[in-house]
């Protein structure tokens, strides 16, 4: 077994188990903590796919910043009605239905359609594409307009957050 396969099995198991634990907890805070574990496992999976920068971003942004926001929002909402949802059979059926569709689609994608055939053909190129140097090169030459647009998006989000959430707004 190659190192890649061992790591894939390890991280895949971590993220699969943690995501199951996440959706079965009744306490939203504990769910959020399992979500962090899930993000960590995903970041490991990105690493096995040679996407180092994405892996680092996953840890810094998702497991770091976004989870802070998640936890604050959970405490802000005071989820005392969380049990209400677990007693809703209709919601559960709907959720199973959606999950089933996504599952079928993934199975179809992996075993029938092979969408990654074209991408896998060139492993060296895919290794290069994951490096921070290549991302920097693409982002500041070919994708410079999306990059600036992302700046504007973040500014709009700042303004929106202050307008909506600042207590004493003048």
Q: How many residues bind another protein (CB under 8 A)?
A: 69
Binding part of the chain for another protein, among 16-24, 30-38, 85-93, 143-151 by CB under 8 A, reads 143-151
How far apart (Å, rounded) are the C-alpha atoms in residues 50 and 126? 7
- CB of 30 closer than 8 Å to CB of 82: no
- CB of 126 closer than 8 Å to CB of 48: no
Please report how close the Cβ of residue 149 comes to another protein at its closest, in angstroms: 4
Q: Is 85 in the site for another protein (CB under 8 A)?
A: no
Of 1, 3, 83, 90, the residue at the interface with another protein (CB under 8 A) is 3
- CB of 18 closer than 8 Å to CB of 10: no
Print the binding letters for residues 42-71 with another protein: x by CB under 8 A, - otherwise.
-----xx-x--x---x--xx--xxx-xx--
Q: Is 81 in the site for another protein (CB under 8 A)?
A: no
Of 1, 87, 115, 120, the residue at the interface with another protein (CB under 8 A) is 115
| DSSP label of 79 | -
Q: Is 107 in the site for another protein (CB under 8 A)?
A: no
Helix ranges, the chain (H): 3-24, 28-48, 52-57, 67-77, 82-86, 89-108, 117-120, 123-129, 132-141, 144-165
Q: Which residues form the interface with another protein (CB under 8 A)? A: 3-4, 7, 47-48, 50, 53, 57, 60-61, 64-66, 68-69, 72-73, 75-80, 105, 108-109, 113, 115-116, 118-119, 127, 132-133, 135-137, 139-170
């Amino acid at each position: 077994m190659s190192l890649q396969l061992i790591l894939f099995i390890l991280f895949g198991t971590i993220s699969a188990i943690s995501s199951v634990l996440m959706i079965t907890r009744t306490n939203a805070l504990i769910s959020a903590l399992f979500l962090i574990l899930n993000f960590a496992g995903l970041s490991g999976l990105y690493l096995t796919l040679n996407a180092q920068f994405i892996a680092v971003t996953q840890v810094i942004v998702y497991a770091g910043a976004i989870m802070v926001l998640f936890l604050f929002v959970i405490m802000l909402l005071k989820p005392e009605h969380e049990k209400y949802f677990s007693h809703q059979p209709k919601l559960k059926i709907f959720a199973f239905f959606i999950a089933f569709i996504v599952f079928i689609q993934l199975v179809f994608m992996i075993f029938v359609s092979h969408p990654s055939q074209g991408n896998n053909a060139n492993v060296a190129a895919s290794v290069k594409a994951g490096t921070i140097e290549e991302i920097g090169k693409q982002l500041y030459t070919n994708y410079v307009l999306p990059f600036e647009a992302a700046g504007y998006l973040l500014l709009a989000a700042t303004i929106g957050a202050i307008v909506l959430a600042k207590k004493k707004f003048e």
